[in-house]
Amino acid sequence: MKLIEALEWRYAVKKMNGTKIPAEKLNQILEATRLAPSAFGLTPYTIIVVEDEETRKKLQPAFYNQSQVVDGSAVIVFAAWNNVTEKEVAEYMQDIAEQRGVAVETLNDFAGYINGSLKNLNADQARIWADKQAYIALGFGLVAAAAEQVDATPMEGFVPDAVDEVLGLKALGLHSTVALTLGYRDAANDYLVNAKKVRRDHKKLVINK
């Protein structure tokens, strides 16, 4: 399926049928998400993959009892870091050095630039910045799921503190930002399954200068 056809096919599924996603498809979606762009390449978030049925049942009330949480195959929670310190930056520099085969000392200027940029942000600004990076990854996950013909529903409608409690995110220095349910549409019971996709017309949406 070509990209635009895949994006025409996808929609925010309201009812899923419980069919499990093949592991290779889930891994492809996660790998595409891992490759999403991020400021500095730092990816200040962690991706939590919840396939366990009992855990998803515990999460469902935090998602206002939306059925996709339990009737889908997996819930992907994008959990942003609560803090980005010089320690995380140093670990990232080490990853770059190892994967590119360079001495970590050659990255000191880059590390200094990142640390300096982050120090200019107050706590609220840093949290918003990390959350925005997670949303970019969400977008890549949605496109990758469509390419794999796996249904995906992005979810902002949840109680973050409750999700954090179920998944033990506070102890990990994380907070839930946005989520994505993955599965397959229940064509017999989803009222949107045959609805035409409606978006703003290209001429209204795009301004050429």
CB 179 within 8 A of CB 154: yes
Dist CA 199 CA 6 (whole Å):
15
pLDDT, residue 43, reads 97
Residuewise pLDDT in 10s, the chain (209 residues): 699 999 999 999 999 999 999 999 999 999 999 999 999 999 999 999 999 999 999 999 999 999 999 999 999 999 999 999 999 999 999 999 999 999 999 999 999 999 999 999 999 999 999 999 999 999 999 999 999 999 999 999 999 999 999 999 999 999 999 999 999 999 999 999 999 999 999 999 999 99
Question: What domains can you pick out in the chain, each with its CATH number?
Answer: 3-33+44-84+135-205 (3.40.109.10)
Total residue length of the chain: 209
Give the residue from 71, 180, 173 showing the smallest Cα distance to 134: 180
Predicted pLDDT of residue 165: 98
* Tokens of residue 177, six digits: 């930002």
Query: What per-residue confidence (pLDDT) applies to 129?
Result: 97
- What are the start-end ranges of the H helices in 42-173? 53-59, 68-71, 86-100, 108-119, 123-147, 160-167
Q: Which two tokens stand for residue 152?
A: 């995906």
Q: d(Cα 20, Cα 6) in Å, to the nearest integer?
A: 20
